[in-house]
Amino acid sequence: MPVDRDRVAALVRELLAAIGEDPERPGLKLTPQRVADAYAEFFSGVGTDAAAPLAHTISVSRGPAPDTLPSGAVMLRDIRFRSVCEHHLLPFRGHAHIAYLPGEQVVGLGALPKVVDILAARPQVQERLGEQIADTIAGSLDTRGVLVVLEASHECVTMRGDQQSEASTVTIAARGELAEPAARAELIALLGASRTLGNG
């Protein structure tokens, strides 16, 4: 179900009045509709099937390059994402790093950011977002293991309370073989190397 923009706009008008502002003054008159339009984008993932981008897979043994079977993990780093924290409805944003150990089927690399985008476009907490990404990939692909690392900055931390402007949060979700610390250590090290080399 799409975001009810008219209802959101009406509620924003009420919110502006509740904080002591005049929703009809020139600087705020268009704000309710602008917020409604922004929320329609921010929460477009509500009710959307996050597994849909993974529906089309490619056979690694019978596909276009059967002589290039992957012997290790497939890793996509630095997928930018943004979401809205469900506790304060403030944004958080950062990078997702996804790795999986493919079986007979692989997916086009462009599908992985789409999964992240759909799941991030909902009221979220970072810990659950990483778990949902891992579950979606593990449940939709022929994979022996999945690793999802999220690194994000939260405005509920950087702009309120103690205002820790440099703080970031890192979460890890793992499935299958990559749930074993020793198995995922190499991939975690690769992420660290990307930061050292200035690629992150």
Give the whole-angstrom CA distance, residue 84 versus residue 113: 17
Q: Name the CA radius of gyration of the chain, rounded.
A: 20
Tokens of 99: 């790795």
Please give the helix or strand (H or E) that residue 179 lies within, else none.
none
Contact 120, 85 (CB under 8 A): no
Compute how many other C-beta atoms are within 10 angstroms of the C-beta atom of residue 150: 26
- DSSP readout, 11-27? HHHHHHHHTT--TTSTT
**Residues annotated in the binding site for Zn(2+), as ranges?**
85, 88, 156
**Residues annotated in the binding site, as ranges?**
85, 88, 156
Longest Cα–Cα distance of the chain, Å, equals: 67
